[in-house]
Chain A
Amino acid sequence: MSITASSSPDHTGAAPGWPWQTIVIKSGIFVLLAAMMIIFQLNEPAFLRVANIFSILQAVAIVALLGIGVTVSCAIGGFDLSVGALAALSQMAAAYILIVLNGSAFEAIAGTLLIGVLVGLFNGLLIVILRVPDLLATLGTLFLLAGAQLIPTGGRSVAPGMALLDGSAATGSFTEFFLALGRYRVGGVVPVPVIVLGVVALVFWFIMERTRWGRVFYAVGGSPTAAHLAGAPTKTYRFTAYIVSSVLAALGGILLAARLGRGDVSAGNSLMLDAVAACLIGYAVLGANRPNVFGTVVGAVFVGVLLNGLTMLNAPYYIQDFVKGLVLIGALALTFSLSHRRN
């Protein structure tokens, strides 16, 4: 009896007849990326220089870090909108610890990461315990953090020697070591943030794709009931996901502060949208159709290459968001229309 064959024509019928669909689904982003790089290279020979490649990656690193956090929160079926605001706050906090509180680099890093953990716990409390819908909860946190970063300095940026609220001048400074986190290039080539991103991406790719924990993250997002009934501690995993995304955002904020050398109140404005975009473009990478760490990094690089190339070609800055929107919509249309038709 050919029960399987006759009962599932819909699943087998499309694939062999339309090989191009599978190819487009699997590698569409890479084809576009390659096409883009060729076009930029033809118009601007400096584009593919090693230095430029790494400056693209450096620009991308913070967004990609935040994107990985968003990816983990999406994997458990949630969403973390607060990562951008948290990265901005972390950047201010690190600068504040260094300059106003005279802290060491270690204290600045530890303090900022601790803030990340606390914000993650706070989001988890709202979403997992108090059952506030994830988008609303993290939107609330976003406002809270965006406001909180202004309060200690009365709305001003943090820079060495700044005047404090009591009139005296700040005495602290950015230490060499801290600044190196954002600026030093290993071997004169590879910026530290790119290395941090590489390590974080590799670790989280491994966790999400190759371990039991990753499976539970995705299972909790796919069907909380089925995961719970199979013995998974769903609440713990959901809490963990928000802590992960917040800690990665705090890490991104540290790297941002190190690169800027100050705490800038307007830094990180577009971080959240860029990180979310990277995560969503990642759905289209290799036809995954789900949040995935590799796709998110590729998504961030894709946007980074695009913006860098446009800048080198002297495209006006004000079309950047428009182009990002086009890319995002294109990637989403590709993922959802093709994968839907395939099923």
Chain B
Amino acid sequence: MTASRPVPPALRLRSVNKSYGPTRALSSVDLDVHAGEIVALMGANGAGKSTLIKILCGIQRADSGAIEIEGRSVDIASPAQAQERGIVAVHQSIADVGVPTLSVAENLLLDLFCTGAGPLVATPANVRRRAQERAERIGLDIDLDAQLADVSLADQQLIAIARAVSHRPTVMLFDEPTASLSAGETEKLFRVIEGLRASGVAIIYVSHKIADIRRLADRVVVLRDGRISASFERPVEINAAIRAMIGHDLPAARPRATSDGPPIFRIRNARLRKREASFDLDVGAGEIIAVTGPLGSGKSALAGAIFGLWPLAEGQMWLEDQPWRPSGPAQSIASGVFYAGEDRWRTSFFPSTVPFASVAGTISFPFLRRWRAFGLLPIRQEGRVADDAIATFGIKARSRDVPLTALSGGNQQKVVLARWQAEPARLLLLDEPFQGVDVGARDDIIRAIRTSSAGRATIVFVSDYEEALEVGDRILTIENGVIQADTAAETAIRASSPAAEPQLETV
């Protein structure tokens, strides 16, 4: 942030271009990242973030343009070369960062074993000592003898980072690293990233999460349609950055609904786990409740209990005036209780080997029997509903028959939402509906949830408190399986400092 820099930037891109056929993914991208600086890269899905990351990692090559590292022009033709040049990436998906059946210590040294750089005979003491060194370098405190499969996802990610850092990288790329972390784990990761910054690593940080960016970024660079559309120095104006990213302001939300009349759904004296305190919950018609809490706090456990995946440990539920004791998903769906689970590829979508893994087939699947008797396919209604959904939700798909893999994350999530609005719901449960969704699409989804909410009760489960504030009429926090506080969203916003939450002033 000083005006003059005697040293060349750690990473410099000059007029980098990349096209896929007729589509320009990147056009004349210039970017400098200095040692000891965190540059947050923002952009809607398809803006070119992932292309840029892939080029830097050597997964794809730029069509033209220059890449310099510490002033020297370099060519990055493969991931191995990227690593040699000092560029290391930490990806969002954790699946491929280690060998689950090996110990933490062995995973910390995995590269040595794999490349043959390590000693041929590795004594346990030797392995432990060297692994310890690597762990300490990023301040990672962990049981070295545990199996990788037994440690948390966050620690697995930190292990991968520790391994990467041992190569003393010049540039580190973080691609949505907090996507599957809890608040505490995120904090741990942030401290590691800040430590890396202090030790002079140049860092590019890609994230959809405003809180991450506000916390870490020295500079925000916004990509839009393959170009750098804006750059913001600290203190970063998040509103302006979002505007630069999606091309318009986030529109103001509707006035908060206040529900009168009897609640549609009630829970009394409920316990998710034995020996925890009990809680009650009322959701009125037209009301949107946001239940928020860190990973493992009981959000999904509560959602599953309401949907009939498992029973409450204790307590009663009522849907309108009837006691609600669902036997399973089939009965819940038949009764108008719909549930969109977290992680859409696991809970809602079918892989492309399934013949109907398209927009239309995904939306219609739970309602086939409702729409046509005797096992025949309701082709006409399926097509009509899908076309309606594409129009109503602004799903960017060439047709209703395109496979879901061809859609961006935001559009995929809109398909999930469209499915559960294809029939009227009495109670709609949405578990992490903003996972892997950019800010623009998130806004569309929030609007879709809000505009359709009349007449039904809606419960949204999110771990991000800001998302809870944006979507909910009332915010409930859940901790250790117990619903703690009941705050109307207005109060919650007033309580939080307006300076710290600028984008919520519009609410």
Which chain A residues have a beta carbon within 8 Å of chain B's beta carbons?
Answer: 1-13, 207, 209-213, 215, 218-219, 221-223, 225-233, 288-290, 343
Q: Is the CB of B333 within 8 A of A218?
A: no
- The residues of B that contact A213 with a CB separation of less than 8 Å are 375
One of A8, A212, A222 near B353 (C-beta < 8 A): A222
| Assembled-state Cα–Cα distance A3/B46 (Å) | 5
Q: B122 an interface residue at 8 Å Cβ cutoff?
A: no
| Assembled-state Cα–Cα distance A109/B177 (Å) | 62
Q: What 8 pairs between A and B have smallest CB-CB spacing?
A: A9-B20, A7-B46, A222-B354, A3-B46, A222-B350, A231-B330, A230-B366, A211-B375
Q: Is the CB of A3 within 8 A of B347?
A: no
Q: Is the CB of B44 within 8 A of A3?
A: yes
- The residues of B that contact A230 with a CB separation of less than 8 Å are 329, 333, 348, 365-366
**20 other contacts beyond A4-B396, A4-B398, A213-B375, with CB at 8 A cut-off?**
A7-B45, A8-B408, A13-B20, A210-B377, A211-B377, A215-B355, A215-B361, A218-B354, A219-B350, A219-B356, A222-B353, A223-B349, A225-B347, A226-B350, A229-B307, A231-B332, A288-B355, A290-B353, A343-B352, A343-B405
CB distance from B88 to the nearest CB of A (A): 24
**Chain B 40-57 interface 0/1 with A at a Cβ cutoff of 8 Å (1 = within):** 000011111000000000
Q: Is the CB of A5 within 8 A of B361?
A: no
Interface Cβ pair total, 8 Å cutoff: 125
- The residues of A that contact B226 with a CB separation of less than 8 Å are 6
CB distance from B146 to the nearest CB of A (A): 27
Most buried by A among B353, B369, B377, B405: B353
Q: Is the CB of B365 within 8 A of A219?
A: yes
Q: Is the CB of B354 within 8 A of A219?
A: yes
CB distance from B381 to the nearest CB of A (A): 12
Classify the interface of chain B: helix, strand, loop or mixed: loop
Q: Is the CB of B355 within 8 A of A209?
A: yes
| Assembled-state Cα–Cα distance A212/B365 (Å) | 8
Q: Is the CB of A226 within 8 A of B348?
A: yes
- The residues of B that contact A343 with a CB separation of less than 8 Å are 352, 405
Q: B449 an interface residue at 8 Å Cβ cutoff?
A: no
| Assembled-state Cα–Cα distance A210/B368 (Å) | 12
Q: Is the CB of A231 within 8 A of B225?
A: no
| Assembled-state Cα–Cα distance A211/B25 (Å) | 41
**Chain B 154-180 interface 0/1 with A at a Cβ cutoff of 8 Å (1 = within):** 000000000000000000000000000
| Assembled-state Cα–Cα distance A276/B256 (Å) | 60
Known: A6-B48, A223-B350. Contact between A212 and B376, CB under 8 A?
Answer: yes
- The residues of B that contact A226 with a CB separation of less than 8 Å are 346-350
- The residues of B that contact A227 with a CB separation of less than 8 Å are 350
Q: Is the CB of B366 within 8 A of A231?
A: yes
Q: Is the CB of A290 within 8 A of B355?
A: yes
| Assembled-state Cα–Cα distance A225/B307 (Å) | 14
Q: Is the CB of A2 within 8 A of B225?
A: yes
**Chain B 14-29 interface 0/1 with A at a Cβ cutoff of 8 Å (1 = within):** 0000001101110000
CB distance from B80 to the nearest CB of A (A): 22
| Assembled-state Cα–Cα distance A253/B439 (Å) | 61
Q: B139 an interface residue at 8 Å Cβ cutoff?
A: no
One of A1, A212, A219, A229 near B375 (C-beta < 8 A): A212
One of B339, B355, B411 near A218 (C-beta < 8 A): B355
CB distance from B288 to the nearest CB of A (A): 21
Q: B407 an interface residue at 8 Å Cβ cutoff?
A: yes
Q: B462 an interface residue at 8 Å Cβ cutoff?
A: no
Q: Is the CB of B411 within 8 A of A4?
A: yes
> 12 A-B Cβ contacts within 8 A?
A1-B44, A1-B46, A6-B47, A7-B45, A8-B407, A12-B21, A212-B369, A223-B349, A226-B349, A229-B339, A230-B366, A231-B334
Q: Is the CB of B354 within 8 A of A4?
A: no
- The residues of B that contact A221 with a CB separation of less than 8 Å are 354
Most buried by B among A222, A226, A232, A289: A226
Q: B446 an interface residue at 8 Å Cβ cutoff?
A: no
One of A6, A225, A231, A288 near B23 (C-beta < 8 A): A6
| Assembled-state Cα–Cα distance A187/B356 (Å) | 41
Closest to A17 in B: B21
Q: Is the CB of A231 within 8 A of B396?
A: no
Most buried by B among A12, A219, A231: A231
Q: B236 an interface residue at 8 Å Cβ cutoff?
A: no
| Assembled-state Cα–Cα distance A288/B353 (Å) | 8
- The residues of B that contact A225 with a CB separation of less than 8 Å are 346-347
Closest to B403 in A: A11
| Assembled-state Cα–Cα distance A4/B347 (Å) | 23
CB distance from A194 to the nearest CB of B (A): 27
| Assembled-state Cα–Cα distance A2/B405 (Å) | 17
CB distance from B114 to the nearest CB of A (A): 25
Known: A225-B347, A228-B329. Contact between A215 and B377, CB under 8 A?
Answer: yes
Known: A9-B21, A226-B349, A229-B339. Contact between A215 and B368, CB under 8 A?
Answer: yes
Q: Is the CB of B46 within 8 A of A289?
A: no
CB distance from B242 to the nearest CB of A (A): 15
Known: A223-B351, A225-B347. Contact between A3 and B25, CB under 8 A?
Answer: no
- The residues of A that contact B372 with a CB separation of less than 8 Å are 212
- The residues of A that contact B309 with a CB separation of less than 8 Å are 229
Q: B406 an interface residue at 8 Å Cβ cutoff?
A: yes
CB distance from A136 to the nearest CB of B (A): 21
Q: B397 an interface residue at 8 Å Cβ cutoff?
A: yes
Most buried by B among A7, A8, A213, A215: A7
- The residues of A that contact B406 with a CB separation of less than 8 Å are 4, 8, 11-12
Q: B472 an interface residue at 8 Å Cβ cutoff?
A: no
Q: B357 an interface residue at 8 Å Cβ cutoff?
A: yes
CB distance from A208 to the nearest CB of B (A): 9
Q: Is the CB of B23 within 8 A of A5?
A: yes
Q: Is the CB of A6 within 8 A of B46?
A: yes
Q: B247 an interface residue at 8 Å Cβ cutoff?
A: yes
Q: Is the CB of B353 within 8 A of A229?
A: no
| Assembled-state Cα–Cα distance A1/B225 (Å) | 7
| Assembled-state Cα–Cα distance A5/B398 (Å) | 9
Q: B341 an interface residue at 8 Å Cβ cutoff?
A: yes
**Chain B 316-349 interface 0/1 with A at a Cβ cutoff of 8 Å (1 = within):** 0000000000000110111000010100001111
| Assembled-state Cα–Cα distance A170/B357 (Å) | 57
- The residues of A that contact B361 with a CB separation of less than 8 Å are 215
Q: Is the CB of A229 within 8 A of B354?
A: no
- The residues of A that contact B355 with a CB separation of less than 8 Å are 209, 215, 218, 288, 290
Closest to A10 in B: B20
Closest to A218 in B: B354
CB distance from B50 to the nearest CB of A (A): 8
Known: A215-B368, A219-B354. Contact between A2 and B376, CB under 8 A?
Answer: no
| Assembled-state Cα–Cα distance A160/B369 (Å) | 51
| Assembled-state Cα–Cα distance A289/B357 (Å) | 13
Q: Is the CB of A7 within 8 A of B339?
A: no
- The residues of A that contact B44 with a CB separation of less than 8 Å are 1, 3
- The residues of A that contact B407 with a CB separation of less than 8 Å are 4, 8
Q: Is the CB of A3 within 8 A of B375?
A: no
| Assembled-state Cα–Cα distance A233/B339 (Å) | 16
CB distance from A246 to the nearest CB of B (A): 22
- The residues of A that contact B356 with a CB separation of less than 8 Å are 215, 218-219
One of B354, B365, B368, B405 near A11 (C-beta < 8 A): B405
